[in-house]
Amino acid sequence: MILHDIESAERKSIEDQQLHDLQKTIERVYERVPFYRNKLQESNVNPDSIQTLDDIKKLPFTTKRDLRDHYPFGLFASEQKDLVRLHASSGTSGKPTVVGYTKKDIKDWAIIVARAISIVGGGPEDILQNAYGYGLFTGGLGLHFGGEELGVTVIPISGGNTERQISILEDFKPTILCSTPSYALNIGEKMLEMGKDPRSTTLKYGIFGAEPWSEEMRKKLEELFDIKACDIYGLSEVVGPGVAMECSVGQDGLHIAEDHFLVEVIDPITLEPVQEGTIGELVFTSLKKEALPIIRYRTGDIASITKAKCICGRTTTRMSRVKGRIDDMIIVRGVNVFPSEIEHHLIQMKELAPHYQLHLHRTSSLDEVELHVEITGELYQKTSQNLKHPILQALKAEIQEKMKTYCYVTMNVVLLPPKCIARSEGKAVRIIDHRKEIVKK
Ligand code: DLL
């Protein structure tokens, strides 16, 4: 595993470099982006106000809303002639957020992702099956350019067409699979269904991310494919995949590419910084980007950070697994719960397939959660395909009890026969919100 200079540097030298690049970034946006200039002036700050890293607190936050309000290119700091690529995040409502890259941005991002792949253990001798979607989503091209930068042999298969994924897995003999964790699970299940053994492939590593997943899901995928599964994090507004990457040695938090991104964790209500080790909302500031520098971007992602040295030898700040997005946090009668916490408990139950969905309903003024889970094919046969079977009634009560004990939420559990929940080819849909639907009488 190659350790890049920055990854094992002393904290002081990382921070000196960050301060220098932060000052340059602030100068750039102040000169080139009216939105930032106005916001900085309103906060009585200018580029000279940044004398220490702590001075970042003087700067205003940026939100997804700001990007949408300036759709499509209003926050860009480069002229169109200097842009070589655009990406966009799909977004569940309204306009997407559009992000742009100069030639240098693309090169820097490729190096960031190359480092991410090498953090896992990848190198030129590896073949990487890239099942992240190609297109406006940053996953496909992000991993593609990073793989090529590292000298890995990239198979640009993109997401979907699961049977084809399986024949490529068998014929091209890749050693690394890149996809969302839910799609990796989908591929593995399909192999079993076809009578093939997912453990018999040449795969060594999985680079899984783009959606929240749990430690239990990691175990499941590692066992299913006999691989090391590592978490990759990123978001298009900040660059795309590679903002942080988990190492295969420690598998204990994701190493942030701190020479490119400055991380903060804030309380999403008070907007004040939280203590190291406490969970809060991740906030990132880009340090080297040209086309779309981003200042104190509120990601909506909930995690914590630690500056403790990792057993792999890296000194860069690590972030915990993302528990979920603030928007995906379910608040039922005052209790907050993330789907990933529910997943953690469900996957441990042998009677269930690792697929679930949360349906939110509103009856009168109360919110109700319906948890849809699939039973295994084996159990379905054993209970004579009768969902009212006493064994299944008892299982339902057990899940309900578990959810109440560990997640503090009373849920109505709906057991489903195998294969009833839609399988993902990209980001899994875990929450279906029916609360705004008009109930027709
Ligand atoms: O999902 C970039 C990406 C591609 C990351 C491939 C990793 C691998 P967006 O489509 O802009 O970009 O979505 C970003 O996805 O704010 C998180 O909520 C979520 N997310 C990304 N990675 C993880 C992860 C890509 N490892 C949004 N764990 C982010 C949990 C993740 N959530």
Peptide bond into 72 cis (omega under 30): yes
Report which of 230, 127, 245, 239 is spatially closest to residue 181, judged by C-alpha positions. Answer: 230
Mean per-residue pLDDT, 60-84? 97
178 lines ligand 1 (CB under 6 A): no
Q: Whose C-alpha lies nearest to ligand 1, atom 6?
A: 139
Dist CA 256 CA 126 (whole Å): 23
CA of 403 to the centre of ligand 1 (A): 26
Alpha-carbon span 256 to 438, nearest angstrom: 44
Instruction: Compute the distance from residue 211 Cα to the ligand 1 centre, in Å.
Output: 5
From the CB of 299, is ligand 1 less than 6 Å away? Answer: yes
Kindly indicate whether the domain formed by 329-440 is annotated with CATH number 2.40.50.140.
no
* Tens of pLDDT, residues 328-382: 898 887 888 999 999 999 999 999 999 999 999 988 778 889 999 999 999 999 9
Distance in angstroms (rounded) separating the CA atoms of residues 220 and 24? 45
pLDDT over threshold 60, residue 441: no
Q: Is the CB of 261 under 6 A from ligand 1?
A: no
Contacts of residue 47, Cβ cutoff 8 Å, sequence gap at least 6: 23, 26, 27, 30
Ligand 1 contacts CB of residue 322 (under 6 A): yes
Tell whether ligand 1 has an atom less than 6 A from the beta carbon of residue 180: no
Q: Cβ atoms within 10 A of the Cβ of 103, count?
A: 13
Alpha-carbon distance of 301 to 359, in angstroms, equals 21
- Residue 394, C-beta contacts closer than 8 angstroms, at least 6 positions apart: none
pLDDT of residue 95: 80
pTM (two decimals):
0.96
Ligand 1 contact, 235 CB (< 6 A) = yes
Residue 248 Cβ inside 6 Å of ligand 1? The answer reads: no
Query: Is the shortest distance between the CB of 97 and ligand 1 below 6 Å?
Result: no
Taking the CA atoms of 145, 149, 150 and 151 in sequence, report the sign of the dihedral they define.
positive
- The answer to whether the CB of 232 is under 6 A from ligand 1 is yes
310: helix, coil or strand?
A: coil
* Minimal-distance CA residue to ligand 1 atom 4: 139
Cα separation, 19 vs 22, whole angstroms: 5
CA of 138 to the centre of ligand 1 (A): 9
The pLDDT value given to residue 91: 64
CATH of domain 1-325: 3.40.50.12780
Ligand 1 atom, smallest distance to 132 CA: 6
Side-chain-side CA neighbours of residue 174 (13 Å): 27
Look at residue 315 and tell me whether its pLDDT is greater than 90. Answer: yes
241 Cα–ligand 1 center, Å: 7
Q: Give the separation between CA 189 and CA 435, rounded to whole angstroms.
A: 32
**How many Å lie between the centroid of ligand 1 and the Cα of residue 435?**
26
Best mutation site among 87, 177, 301 for ligand 1 pocket (most ligand atoms within 8 Å of CB):
301
Arithmetic mean of pLDDT, 146-156: 98
Cα(383) to centroid of ligand 1, in Å? 39
User: Average per-residue pLDDT in the chain?
Assistant: 95
Nearest to 311 by CA among 215, 246, 256: 246
Q: Is residue 197 pLDDT above 50, yes or no? A: yes
Across 294-317, average pLDDT: 97
Q: Which residues contact 438 (CB under 8 A, 6 or more apart)?
A: none
| Structure letter (DSSP) for residue 385 | T
Tell me the pLDDT tens digit for each residue of 219-264: 999 999 999 999 999 999 999 999 999 999 999 999 999 999 999 9
Task: Report yes or no: 119 and 243 within 8 Å, Cβ to Cβ.
Answer: no
- Which of these, 202, 252, 193, 250, lies nearest to 225 by C-alpha position? 202
Q: 134 in ligand 1 pocket by Cβ < 6 Å?
A: no
Longest dimension (CA), the chain: 73
pLDDT in tens, 1-24: 566 788 999 999 999 999 999 999
Cα-to-centroid distance, 219 and ligand 1 (Å): 20
What pLDDT does residue 93 have?
A: 59
Position 440 pLDDT exceeds 60: no
- DSSP-assigned letters across all residues of 48-72: GG-SSGGGGGGSPPB-HHHHHHTTT
Collapse the DSSP code of 296 into the 3-class scheme (helix H, G, I; strand E, B; otherwise coil) and give the result. coil
The CATH 3.40.50.12780 portion of the chain extends over 1-325
Q: Is 395 near ligand 1, meaning CB less than 6 Å away?
A: no
The residue to mutate among 92, 322, 325, having the most atoms of ligand 1 within 8 angstroms of its beta carbon, is: 322
Handedness of CA 283, 133, 226, 419 (dihedral sign): positive
The mean pLDDT value for 174-201 works out to 98
Please enumerate in sequence order all residues whose Cβ is within 8 A of that of 115, keeping only pairs 6 or more positions apart, or say none. Answer: 4, 7, 242, 245, 257
pLDDT band at 92 (very low <50, low <70, confident <90, very high): low
What pLDDT does 438 receive? 52
CA distances from 201 to 91, 316, 415 (A): 35, 33, 33
Enter the tokens of residue 4.
Answer: 């890049």
Q: What is residue 208's three-state secondary structure?
A: strand
Residue ranges of the chain that CATH labels 3.30.300.30 = 329-440
CA–CA distance, 340 with 411 (Å, rounded to integer) = 15
**Cβ(89) – ligand 1 distance below 6 Å:** yes
Report which protein residue has its CA nearest ligand 1's atom 10.
Answer: 89
Please state, for a pLDDT cut of 70, what percent of the chain lies above it: 98
Which stretches of 38-175 are assigned E, i.e. beta strand?
83-89, 97-102, 127-130, 153-155
Contact 255, 314 (CB under 8 A): yes
Contact 251/207 with Cβ under 8 angstroms?
A: no
CA of 267 to the centre of ligand 1 (A): 20
CA of 208 to the centre of ligand 1 (A): 10
Measured from the Cα of 254, ligand 1's closest atom is 26
- Residue 71 CB: number of other CB atoms within 10 A? 14
